[in-house]
Structures are given as C-alpha cells and as structure tokens.
Amino acid sequence: MPIRINIETVISILALLGIGGLLGALANHLLQKSRDKESRSITRKIEAYSDLLNFTKGFLGDPNLDYHESLKYQQNFLKKFHNDILLFASSDVIKATDIFLDSVSISHTNKDESTDAIFRLITAMRNDLGLDTGDEVSKRYKMYAVNLDDLRKKKGNPPT
C-alpha cells in the first residue's frame, strides 16, 4: 500500500529539519565557545604556574644567583602571585602559595584597612570572573614584600 504524502506534510518535515539543524548548530557553537574559554584559562594557568615555580629559585638559595638576581626572582614571584595567582588560581593553589611564602623569609603586612579593601577588591574580581572565593582568598589579610635584610644575610651586601 503506497503512502501518500501531500505537499504540506513535506514542507512541515523540511521546516522541522531546518529548525532542528539550526538549533543543533547553535548548541554546537555554544559548546565550542565554552571549550575554547576553558582551554585559554588552562593555558594561562599553566604559564602562570610555570613562571611561579621558576621564580622560587630566588627564595631557595640557588648558588648560581647573586644578590640582584635573587632579588629580581623574588620580586617577580610576588608580582606573579599578586597579578595572576590571586585572580585566576584555585583556592587550593592560593593557600599552598601562602604556605610557601610563610615558610621562606618574606615580609608581609598584617591586617589593616588597606589590606581589607584590597582583598574585598580581589574577591569582587574573582566573583566577576566566575571563580571560587573561598576563605583562602577572601579571608587572607597579608600582602607580601621581599625581605631585603634576610636576602643580604644569605647573599651578602650587594655590590654597588
């Protein structure tokens, strides 16, 4: 028995296929956009983490680094921490970095009004970026600086 399909049925089927195709293409585009964003985020983290690990040499008494090189490594570590790690890293990485900084001779300011304001700013930035803002981020009240006295003890007075 032959099936009879009228022109309206054919047009309806083609329209449904077209709309389905468009919806599929849109969904695929949104998924790809999300994957690209995640890939860029991971790439940025890998670069920041690699740099941070490289700069630890400034704290670990590397005999190949003189006073000025050690100072530069320490300054670059803190710059990377403040510019990338606090904004883009997970709370676990921030906490581990704090533990590292507490284990080396580094200066830090304690809780005060300015540091409170800075960490409220960092928390707001992380929220805006859609990142976690656990206690390790929003409840920290330390800002770090190089401990020049300790570096002089380790490396001697810098040449003038």
Band of pLDDT at residue 137, cut at 50, 70 and 90? low
Judged on CB neighbours under 10 Å (0-12, 13-18, 19+), 151 is: buried
Closest to 150 measured CA to CA, from 100, 97, 107, 103: 107
Residue 143 pLDDT more than 60? yes
Domain extent listing, the chain: 44-155
The residues with which 107 forms a beta bridge, in sequence order, are 145
Compute and round to an integer the Cα radius of gyration of the chain: 27
Residue 126 pLDDT more than 80? yes
Residue 103 pLDDT more than 80? yes
Band of pLDDT at residue 79, cut at 50, 70 and 90? very high
pLDDT in tens, 17-49: 777 777 777 888 888 888 878 878 888 889 999
Question: What mean pLDDT, rounded, does the chain reach?
Answer: 80
- Decide: pTM greater than 0.75: no
Predicted confidence at residue 7, as pLDDT, reads 79
